[in-house]
């Protein structure tokens, strides 16, 4: 289903400068959203499991009646079902927040994007095909959730691409801060 595309070149196939800059910003923001979503979901999962275990242990240890135990179980099951809804809400909030921050700082960011090291992010994304819009585009909620699903199922190709993107981001030039 997934296949590698393009060679290992370091120049993206994007056409003009504006497209390049937009693609770079999308790669950075989409990768950041996926990373934060992955960490948020992992924490939610741990919290839900821990809560269930604690509630079960406490209710059993305190000799709670069977009806009370079932009510507690139903409550924690409801918590688990709500997490995907909460994740969707957080995903949309993150996307809105990151987009707003990128737009507010675009003039400061654009000169930094002239560095050709930023091209590697586009190139990494272009080497892989998942049957989804690429990370170089403005992804909708459904596409972001599909990429999260690829992460959750430890899809080998997507995991490889995601790791390459994280390594790329780690080595990007940073904006110099001025001391006042």
Task: Determine contact, residues 148/34, Cβ cutoff 8 Å.
Answer: yes
- Give the model's pLDDT for residue 83: 57
Task: Say which DSSP state 179 is in.
Answer: P
Query: What's this model's pTM, rounded to 2 decimal places?
Result: 0.67
| Bridge partners for 128 per DSSP | 4
- SS3 assignment, position 72: helix
Task: Determine contact, residues 57/50, Cβ cutoff 8 Å.
Answer: no
Summarize pLDDT for 7-59 with one digit per residue, the tens.
Answer: 444 445 544 455 899 999 999 999 999 988 877 765 555 555 555 555 555 45
Q: How far apart are CA 180 and CA 127, in angstroms?
A: 43
Summarize pLDDT for 130-180 with one digit per residue, the tens.
Answer: 999 999 999 988 888 888 888 888 899 999 999 999 999 998 887 665 454
Question: Is the sign of the CA dihedral 162, 163, 166, 168 positive or negative?
Answer: negative
Q: Where are the alpha helices (DSSP H) in the chain?
A: 17-61, 66-104, 106-113, 119-126, 141-152, 156-170
């Amino acid at each position: 289903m997934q296949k590698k595309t393009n060679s290992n070149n370091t120049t993206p196939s994007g056409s003009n400068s504006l497209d390049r800059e937009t693609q770079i910003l999308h790669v950075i923001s989409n990768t950041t959203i996926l990373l934060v979503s992955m960490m948020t979901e992992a924490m939610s999962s741990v919290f839900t499991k821990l809560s269930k275990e604690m509630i079960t242990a406490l209710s059993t240890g305190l000799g709670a009646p069977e009806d009370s135990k079932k009510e507690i179980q139903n409550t924690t099951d409801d918590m688990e079902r709500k997490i995907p809804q909460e994740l969707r809400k957080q995903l949309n909030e993150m996307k809105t927040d990151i987009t707003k921050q990128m737009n507010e700082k675009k003039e400061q960011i654009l000169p930094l994007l002239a560095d050709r090291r930023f091209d590697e992010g586009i190139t990494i994304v272009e080497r892989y095909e998942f049957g989804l819009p690429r990370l170089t585009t403005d992804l909708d909620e459904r596409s972001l959730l599909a990429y999260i699903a690829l992460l959750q199922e430890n899809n080998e190709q997507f995991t490889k691409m995601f790791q390459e993107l994280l390594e790329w981001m780690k080595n990007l030039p940073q904006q110099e801060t001025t001391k006042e």
